[in-house]
Every structure is written in C-alpha cells, then in structure tokens.
Amino acid sequence: MTAHSRDTPQFYLTAPSPCPYLKGQFERKVFTHLVGEDAATLNDLLTHGGFRRSQTIAYRPACESCRACVSIRVRVGEFAWTKAFRRNRAVNADLVREAIGATPTSEQYSLFRAYLDARHAEGGMVDMTVLDYATMVEDSHVRTELVEYRRRGPDTAINRRGDGPLLAVALVDRLSDGLSLVYSFYDPEESERGLGTHVILDHVERARELGLPYLYLGYWVDGSPKMDYKRRFRPQEYLAPTGWTLREGE
C-alpha cells in the first residue's frame, strides 16, 4: 500500500447523476478537499486548472460523454464596456459595495431565500436552511469574503457604506491573479436593475482596482440557456486542453 502525505490532495470521482443544465445528460465530478494550511494555495492552483469551489470542496466536471462545461475568465484590463453595460452601471449608480468578510447574517439569508424561491425553485439549493447558508459562507480555508450592495445613504460620503435594505450579495474568493465569483444572489423584485449583471461588472472594476488581471466566472455550458449570459463579458478566455485561450471573435 502506498502511503500518502496528509498534505497531498486526494481526488475522488462521484457517481453519475442527472445533469442540472442539459436535459438527458448525466454528470460526474472529480473533487478534492480544501483543508489545512495549504488550502488557499491549492484552491488557487486548481482554479487555474478549471476547478470550482464549494465550501471545502474543489470540483470540476468529469463527464464520460459530454464536454459542454467550459471554464471561463474575463480579461479585466481589456474589458469591453458595451452600451448595455454602461447603461446597467448608470441604473445602479446609487448602489454602494461593501466587503464584510466571511460573515453570514439573517438579512442575507432572507434575501437568499427570496432569490431561490423566485429564480431557482427547482434547484438543488432550494432546501438550504439558515444553518446551511452559514456553513456555505463560513466553512472555508481559503481567502473568501461576502460583498454586500445597498443604496447610497446620507452618510455614504463619510463612511462609504450603503443604507437601507440589502439588494445583492456576492461570495468571492481572492486568487493570486484574480477574483473568483463563487455565488451571488439578489432581490428578485428589483429585476429592472439587472443586479446579476451589475455584480459581475462591479467585480470587473474591483479586480482592476486591486491590480488583478482576471475575473473567474466559473463554467459556461454550451447548450444551456441559463448559462449563456456569461458569454457577454468580453474579452474572455476559456480553458482548452492546451491551456487558457482567448475565445475566437472576442
């Protein structure tokens, strides 16, 4: 029997299960645990290799007959601010971003619950309790934080904080070369704002402010309408067998 160091990641393969993105397909994932002192370094390395993080697990698709899931990242320094994107930024100019660390709150969970019920009532997260939500945020050994969005208030110019109800939240990992959007949710009753788009655009700007070249958006799934929005954020690279490659025509 071969002895493995406790610092050496071990990889596992899940059993096939119905794909949540493509009807009639089955997914499998390869995964490993992100724990210990080297978790942040490992998360960085694996993200560069097309993995995504969920709590203390890093995973990537390992489907037997499908290659539709493609890792993508946005080139921040060359980002194309289209008319639609500039319009979105103008509509949401009254919002203020605040990074609060990995600190879950009951207010966040109420927004999370409303978002799931309105947008993903059939999804795998719909049964998450407040404790499940807290675990999703806190159960991490990597550099991660929550970013909240609220309207500007009378004291925003002084304390740089928003005021009023919470409108959107993003869970974000900090990598050596970029930011990785792990999950985001927003007020479903504010649909005219395009808050999902705003969170991405704001993190393009945030990565630029931090001097980081990339924003990682996870997987684009060819043939899945719910994931097609990610192609709008350009220029972007996709992870090919030969490495990260600029998407043609962008």
Residues 63-86 have a mean pLDDT of 96
pLDDT for position 121: 66
Buried b (16+ CB within 10 A) or exposed e, 61-85: bebeebebbbbbbbbbeebeeeeeb
Distance linking the first and last C-alpha atoms of the chain: 50
pLDDT for position 6: 53
Check whether 50 has a pLDDT greater than 50. yes
Check whether 7 has a pLDDT greater than 70. no
Residues 45-61 have a mean pLDDT of 96
Q: Contact 199/233 with Cβ under 8 angstroms?
A: no
Q: Contact 98/69 with Cβ under 8 angstroms?
A: no
Percent of the chain clearing pLDDT 90 (strictly above):
84
Q: How far apart are CA 226 and CA 154, in angstroms?
A: 38
Q: How far apart are CA 239 and CA 242, in angstroms?
A: 8
* Domain 73-246 CATH class label: alpha beta
pLDDT 10s digits, 114-152: 999 998 767 668 789 999 999 999 999 999 999 999 999
pLDDT for position 160: 75
Helix (H) / strand (E) element for 101: namely strand 95-101
More confident: 39 or 155: 39
Q: Where are the domains of the chain?
A: 12-69, 73-246
Q: Using 50, 70 and 90 to split pLDDT, how confident is the model at 4?
A: very low
Check whether 1 has a pLDDT greater than 60. no
pLDDT for position 123: 66
Would you call 33 exposed, middle or buried from its count of C-beta atoms within 10 A (0-12, 13-18, 19+)? Answer: middle
pLDDT for position 159: 77
pLDDT for position 162: 81
pLDDT for position 96: 96
User: What pTM, to 2 d.p., does this model score?
Assistant: 0.92
pLDDT for position 156: 79
pLDDT for position 248: 76
pLDDT 10s digits, 160-219: 788 889 999 999 999 999 999 999 999 999 999 999 999 999 999 999 999 999 999 999
Task: Report H helices in the chain.
Answer: 39-48, 83-91, 106-119, 130-138, 156-159, 195-209
Q: How far apart are CA 8 and CA 134, in angstroms?
A: 28
Q: How far apart are CA 192 and CA 189, in angstroms?
A: 8
Residues 48-54 have a mean pLDDT of 96
